Amino acid sequence: MEWLFSLAPDFVVEFWNWLPLWIRVLAENLLYIVIIVVPLMLCVAYVTYAERKIIGYMQVRLGPNRVGPKGWLQPIADAVKLMFKEIIIPTQSNRFLFLVAPVLTIGPALAAWAVIPFFEGNYLSNLNAGLLYILALTSMGVYGVIIAGWASNSKYAMMGALRSAAQVVAYEIAMGFALVGVLMASGSLNMGDIIARQEGGFFSWFWFPLLPMLAVYFISGVAETNRAPFDVAEGESEIVAGFHVDYSGMAFAVFFLAEYANIILIAALTSLMFFGGWMSPFGSLADHALLGNGMHWFILKTMFFIYLFLWFRATFPRYRYDQIMRLGWKVFIPVTIVWIFVEAVMLLMQIGPWAVSSTAAV
């Protein structure tokens, strides 16, 4: 807030200081929420544009190129179109739950950003249990999907919701175990402390000692967001459109926003927990005032993982439902359990890259 007050006239600063403390705290938090949510929504809009362009390039076609220069205004045109479309509610549906479900889906995707640091000291809320908060919120979005499937009173929507629930149960366990590995390596649940433990350059980041955990976490994140090749919850060729088959207008748009907000969230969390967040890959060589606070490194890493999401969609065919369940229960969960045991032994014996993490944790 200091930089904002430095730009404000004196009478604004005096009025601000005159306000009661609780109003100032509330206003600061609301301002931080706006500063995070508005750019996030713009990022969501242009991730859809990037997806269509990247997949178009991979399929040797142009992608959107009519609205604005090189199609840059296409997301705005899509948003305007969806805002003016009618929200049709099926006659036999549960009206209240039908409308609440999209909100329950996007809520956790936005609330998780409260503990995401963009650079050192930059938090909306610096929770000591930030990692636990993230794990809890990322598993809550499925409730909106289940409610949407049930409230629609459609067999296709219900089938998609049941698939999504089973998929989240399988992959949430693997993601949880992967985060246990991060906890053991860092010795803290605080997001800032986790990043601080990765100081020292590219090979000091957790991707190196936790490589199996990184693979499990990121692929499980793709499954959690119902993205290809794990998009059986909305498989067009099997169950029409899955849990949101009866949604239209802005109700459908909110589901759409939630999916892409979750993509950005998983990409950001992967860069924070395994790739040092705002840390430079060059270690102390890049600690120079002219290079800023490191936020550019965080954004670049996040963009790389978003690109992987889009690349997967263009490359891999959809898995069968039984293959998805088998991968989660018979591969990912055993791999994470074994690696937690390996990491525990390494921490106990003070061997290899875990020795530094163990000393820092103590």
Q: How far apart are CA 134 and CA 113, in angstroms?
A: 9
Expressed in angstroms, the distance from the first to the final Cα of the chain is: 34
Report the chain's mean pLDDT, rounded to a whole number: 86
Mean pLDDT of 137-141: 84
* Position 45, amino acid: A
Report H helices in the chain.
2-7, 10-18, 21-58, 74-83, 95-111, 130-138, 141-151, 155-186, 191-196, 211-224, 236-239, 249-274, 295-315, 321-326, 333-349, 354-361
Out of 5-9, 33-37, 82-86, 157-161, pick the least confident.
5-9
* Position 294, amino acid: G
pLDDT at 354 over 70: no
pLDDT at 361 over 50: no
pLDDT at 5 over 80: no
5 versus 155: which is more confidently predicted? 155
Q: Tell me, what's the pLDDT at 3?
A: 55
Q: Global pTM?
A: 0.90
pLDDT at 243 over 90: no
257 versus 240: which is more confidently predicted? 257
Q: Can you read off the two tokens belonging to residue 32?
A: 């931080």
268 versus 138: which is more confidently predicted? 268
Mean pLDDT of 315-328: 90
Q: Tell me, what's the pLDDT at 197?
A: 87
Banded pLDDT at 274 (limits 50, 70, 90): very high
Banded pLDDT at 215 (limits 50, 70, 90): very high
Banded pLDDT at 353 (limits 50, 70, 90): low
pLDDT at 309 over 90: yes
Banded pLDDT at 36 (limits 50, 70, 90): confident
Q: Tell me, what's the pLDDT at 48?
A: 93
Q: Can you read off the two tokens belonging to residue 252?
A: 């459908």
With vertex at residue 137, the alpha carbon angle to CA 133 and CA 140, rounded to the nearest 5 degrees, is 150
Mean pLDDT of 286-308: 80
